[in-house]
């Protein structure tokens, strides 16, 4: 195992997924890509959509910031951070294919009630379409 992707949305299950991925990376000498996905709105003008995407990207950069401190502490484990734009499940699978990941670690549920249902469907999609192993953290 050389490359691990962690799907990160700032939720408690995502924190567990990150910790688990760091432990695995240390054990196997793997590098980690922490991937957050800013989802564009379904409706809106081009200007509104751009503003929402930029705000979303900024939000994810902020929630990734504390993880960067952990990355500094784990100097022996290369940890990369990326914010993609699109449907979360599709972006996770696409990035795993492009990066030739060996493992995707994803949290079981999101933050809000709707996100819990949505992230559940994201995890299902990733499990069914991933080009590599998928570990769902609870």
Q: Give yes or no for a contact between 103 and 132, defined as CB atoms under 8 angstroms apart.
A: yes
**What CATH topology corresponds to 3-137?**
Rossmann fold (3.40.50)
Residue reference for tokens 């890509």 = 33
Model confidence pLDDT, tens digit, residues 105-116: 999 865 555 555
Q: By three-state DSSP, how is residue 64 classified? A: helix
Predicted confidence (pLDDT) per residue in 4-41, tens digit = 999 999 988 999 999 999 999 999 999 999 999 988 77
pTM of the model: 0.85
Angle between helices 46-73 and 12-28 (to 10 degrees): 50
56 within 8 A of 9, measured Cβ to Cβ:
no
18-27, 63-72, 84-93: range with lowest mean pLDDT:
63-72
């Amino acid at each position: 195992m050389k490359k691990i992707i962690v799907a990160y949305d700032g939720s408690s299950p995502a924190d567990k997924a990150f910790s688990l991925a760091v432990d695995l990376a240390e054990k196997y000498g793997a590098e980690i890509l922490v991937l957050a996905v800013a989802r564009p709105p379904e409706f809106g003008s081009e200007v509104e959509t751009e503003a929402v995407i930029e705000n979303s990207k900024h939000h994810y950069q902020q929630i990734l910031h504390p993880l960067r401190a952990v990355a500094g502490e784990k100097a022996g484990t290369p940890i990369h951070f990326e914010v993609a734009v699109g449907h979360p499940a599709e972006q996770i699978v696409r990035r795993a294919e492009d990066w030739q990941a060996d493992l995707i670690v994803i949290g079981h549920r999101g933050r809000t009630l709707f996100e819990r249902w949505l992230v559940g469907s994201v995890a299902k999609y990733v499990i069914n379409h991933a080009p590599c192993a998928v570990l769902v953290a609870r």
